[in-house]
Each structure stands twice: as C-alpha cells, then as structure tokens.
Amino acid sequence: MLSRNSFLALTMLALAGCANVPLRGTGDLGVVIERATGSVEVVETSGRSVLGHIAGLGDLSHASVNYSRDGRYAFVFGRDGGLTKVDLLGMRIVKRVMQSGNSIGGAISQDGKLVAVANYTPGGVKVFDSATLDLVADIPAIDAAGQPSKVVGLVDAPGNRFVWSLFNGGEIWVGDLKNPAHPALQKFTHIGKEPYDAMITADGRYYLAGLFGEDGLALLDLWHPEAGVKRVLNHYGKGEQKLPVFKMPHMEGWAATGNELLVPAVGRHEVLVIDQNTWQEVAHIPVHGQPVFVVARPDDRQVWVNFAFPDNDTVQVIDVPSRKIVKTLKPGKGVLHLEFTPRGESVWISARDENRLTVYDSETYAVQAVLPADNPSGIFFTHRANRTGL
C-alpha cells in the first residue's frame, strides 16, 4: 500500500509528465505520403516543420487519406488494399486491416462514422466502422452485364451516401448507408466509357466522372437523381488526335471557382473551363504539359496545376479572372501533389525525386521552407476533415 507521501510524489510525477506534453489541436497538422518506404510524415503548417514519421503502412505507391471529423485520425488507403488508421497526436498506428488485394482510395461519411474504400481487386466498395475498422458493408461491383469492375472516384455525399464509378462497366452507383447493414443502391448504367476518376462539388450536389475511353464527362445531379446521368463536354476535341497519357489526371483537386469548374483535359496540354450553369466549355487554357492536379487556392483567385511525366518538374499558376498563367515554378523532379494551407497563404508541393517538400508563399511565390521527405507523394492537411468530397 502506498504511503501518503509516495502517493503525493507519484501525483507530482504524473503532473510533471503532463506538463512535458503540452496539449495541442490538430487544425494545422497534416500527413505526407512517403511512397517508397510505406510511411507517413506528420507535419505542421504553423511553424512549417516535420513532427515525426509513422512506418508500417505497406505499399503506398498510390495512396490517399481522409480524416476523422475531429482531425485527429488519418485513414490511409494504400495500393495493396491496406486501410490504416493513424493517430496524428499519438504518432502511431491505431489499427490496420488488409481489406482487399488492390485499392485506389476512400471516403468518410457525412456523420464521420463510416469509412468506405474503393477497390480494384476484387472490385467493389467495402465500408468500415471508423472507430474500430470493423467491416460493416461489402458491396461488390458487378456491372449490368454481370462482369466484375474496378471501382474509381469514390466520394461521400450528403445523407450519409457514397457515390462511385465502375471503370470497366461504365456505371455510376449511389449507395445510401443510413442503415449500413442494408445499403440502398441506385445504379446508373451506360454513363460513358471508362470513368477513371470523379469528384463531387463542395456543396455535395454534382458528381462528375472523367471519362478516359471517350471525350467528355458524366454528370449526376444528386438533387435530381431521377433526371439520370448526363454527358457533358462530349463534343470537346472531336476529331483531334489526343496525346498519349502518361499519367491519369486526378479529379479530387478539380477547382470550383464560383460558377466555373477548371478541369484537366485528358491527353491535352490544356485546362478546361466549364460554366457550371450550362455545363459548356467556355475556355481552354494552354498549359505546360498534361495536367494531373488542378487545385484552387481557397479564395478561388488562383489555380495551381502540376503535370504528368515527362513534364512533372513544373507547377503553373493560373490567375482565374484573366485565365492567364502568371507564374511557372520548378519545384524539382517528380512533382506529384500540392496542398494549400487551410486559408491558402501557403502551398506545399512534393517533389518525389528530390526527396523534399517546398512551401511557397501563394502571393509572392517566395520559398518559405524546404523540408525533407522520403519520396513524397500526396500531402493531406486536416482541414479536409470537414469538407464534403475530401
């Protein structure tokens, strides 16, 4: 039994321990995928520093991240089908499940309780309890012709729904997970050939899938699903020879600026400007290479673009009102991703072959920091926790 004195000493020790680990929030934290080593680097954007590394996340050669709504936990989706829940404050893996053979990304539900993963092998969507990573729903992607399909473009939508596309089958499915034990599915067939990725507008209304096998995009208005999927921009570039595509564009970063969407043109050195009222192309902006990520600064005044191989050493800045390129930067070889700080004063850019992150002032383009990272790819800050579609 403890004497009163030793109890007091223990209490003091415990208090001293607490004093050494100051409380902190997570709003200025983020993770950077280190693709070759299967680790993530935890960073903070206030002092622009690296806080630590967490290893053991498997094959992260294609990886994406969603956050718990408290911004403390990152759900990391790896190429090898691994889903890993990482604690940014505890700097550790909380849980890891191998949920398929090959996956492409995921989404977290509106209520934060469900994490869904899009899989290639076997194709389908698996849904997990975000607290425990227990499987709560398994939805195979068998298309109308009875064939299995790879799933791409999985996003969350209001009403605890998820929306995804079938790459091989050319379908868009909406899954209502209000009752996770009995997902209610709505399927849209013949939406276009080879949807390769998709996005949802920030208000959660429009789901847009980019098509690889043909020109244009497939558009679903989630306020009016009864109207079906419409094809938009399907006359774009008709009869023109496309360039070979050395890296699939991503759509998560598609920039929505007021009434316009800026999207990468597949197989062209262009960014397309689409009027969101008419869904017509109103302009195309010539750029340095084939765009991969087209990301709006949070104030929508600028859009930053990176490019596919072999132009992946460059980032360009488009001034949205004038649709002119106002800056061309060379952050290094293998630029794979860029992420703005929550209010957009800085942008972080990863250069895989240089093993570094460069932080730029988004107004002056001055370099604010250069940080080490091992083969960095995706950069994901915690403000994504509270944004639909991220």
Partner 1 sequence: MWLALGSLFFSAGAACADPATPDTARRNELIRMVRNDCGSCHGMRLTGGLGLPLTPESLRGKPDSGLVASILYGRPGTPMPPWQAFLSEAEAAWIVENLKQGFPDVKPQ
The answer to the question of residue 371 lying near partner 1 (CB under 8 A) is no
Strand-pairing partners, residue 303, are 296, 318
> Please, what is the minimum distance in Å from the beta carbon of residue 250 to partner 1?
11
DSSP structure string for 23-61: ---STTEEEEEETTTTEEEEEETTTTEEEEEE------S
Listed in sequence order, the residues at least 6 apart from 16 whose beta carbon sits closer than 8 Å to its beta carbon are: none
The answer to the question of residue 352 lying near partner 1 (CB under 8 A) is yes
DSSP alpha helix (H) spans, 282-330 = none
The answer to the question of residue 340 lying near partner 1 (CB under 8 A) is no
The answer to the question of residue 88 lying near partner 1 (CB under 8 A) is no
Helix/strand/coil for 316: strand
The answer to the question of residue 353 lying near partner 1 (CB under 8 A) is yes
Give the integer Cα–Cα distance in Å for 189 and 25.
45
How many beta carbons lie within 10 A of that of residue 84, not counting itself?
25
Residue selected from 310, 322, 364, 366 as contacting partner 1 according to rule CB under 8 A: 310
| Encoded tokens for 332 | 């290094």
Residue span 153-182 as binding mask against partner 1, x where in contact by CB under 8 A, dash where not: --------------x---------------
Residue span 319-338 as binding mask against partner 1, x where in contact by CB under 8 A, dash where not: ---------------x----
The DSSP symbol for 142 reads: B
Question: 120 or 360: whose CB is closer to partner 1?
Answer: 120
Question: 148 or 159: whose CB is closer to partner 1?
Answer: 148
Residue selected from 246, 325, 356, 368 as contacting partner 1 according to rule CB under 8 A: 246
- Determine phi and psi for 55, rounding to 5 degrees: -105, 170
Question: 48 or 288: whose CB is closer to partner 1?
Answer: 288
Chain residues binding partner 1 by CB under 8 A are 35-36, 59, 61-62, 79-80, 101-102, 104, 120-121, 150, 152, 167, 194, 196, 212, 244-248, 309-310, 334, 352-353, 355
